Amino acid sequence: MSNRTIHTLGTSLAATLTAAALAFAPVTAWAGDLAQVVSADEEVAAPGTEATIDHGHVDLGLLLVDGQAQFLARDDSAATPVWRDPADVVFDVGDNARLTLPQDKAFSFVGAEPGSQVWVVPQTEQADVPWLGWNTQAPSLTDNVDRGLTMEFLGHQGPGEFSLFLQNGGFEEPQLLWSTATGATDGFWVDLGTHTHANWVFSEPGIHQVRVRMSGQGAGESAGSDVAAEATLTFAVGAGTDVAQAHAAQWDPRAESSGASAGAAVPVWVWALAGAGLLVLVGAVFAVLRAKGGRRG
């Protein structure tokens, strides 16, 4: 399927959308001819190399380095692509990304009132705004993973709401991937060889962090193993947000994060205690029944 871009960029959210497709098998996100070639010899920046990205093309993806999966961001905003640790990256989403939410119930998942201002990292490239997507094209990945990856949402920390969606353009309704306002947080499937962009929407300015995981079944030299890694994406949203503070921000695993699934948000020890409590309760019930049976005898 070819990729068709809406060239007229206005002041409404709908005007930023580009042609893409969303199929569910079970839940799959993909886009068409976003043609690019990812080479096996591309540079990987040393950990701790800070970067602030306020424009240009970036893809999230997995690389296998010495047999270990690494969740990295392929920064293509300069002449030569560089894979960066997301822990070192801040996406500076200034007021050039501020748009008006349409008077359309189809966008209610954004979690803001129609006509209000939101900040959008758009599906279509826009000047002076980061263009953030994902790809499954790295040779180290395609050689070592079977079929593709699942991309999972692990949580959001920051003011207001966060959502991610695809839009075909025209009169088709948006295809929701994740929304903290509605609790839509299911993972979606990404075939190998895919390159996709979507709309990342923030309802309020401030420092936002989004935790994401990519995982798949190993193939080739990684056959029989799980290939998985996760990372925290950091966004400095709005012109008044301090980028230096965003670089210093840390994901807090103890803090409540909006939109994470209930199972992921509950620590393992809670489930363990609950299971132990259930076993004690069942044992007590059996003891009572046996005692009653003995008295009847």
Q: What is the pLDDT of residues 75-112, one digit of tens each?
A: 998 889 999 999 999 999 999 999 999 999 999 999 99
Percent of the chain surpassing pLDDT 70: 75
Percent of the chain surpassing pLDDT 90: 68
Q: How far is CA 166 from the centre of its chain?
A: 13
* pTM of the complete model: 0.80
CA Rg, the chain, in Å?
22
Q: What is the pLDDT of residue 45?
A: 97
The values of phi and psi at residue 214, to 5°, are: -120, 135
Three-state DSSP at 196 gives: strand
What does the alpha-carbon distance between residue 292 and residue 85 come to, in Å, rounded to a whole number? 64
What does the alpha-carbon distance between residue 273 and residue 171 come to, in Å, rounded to a whole number? 51
CB 120 within 8 A of CB 199: yes
Instruction: Give yes or no for residue 260 having a pLDDT over 50.
Output: yes
What does the alpha-carbon distance between residue 64 and residue 83 come to, in Å, rounded to a whole number? 12
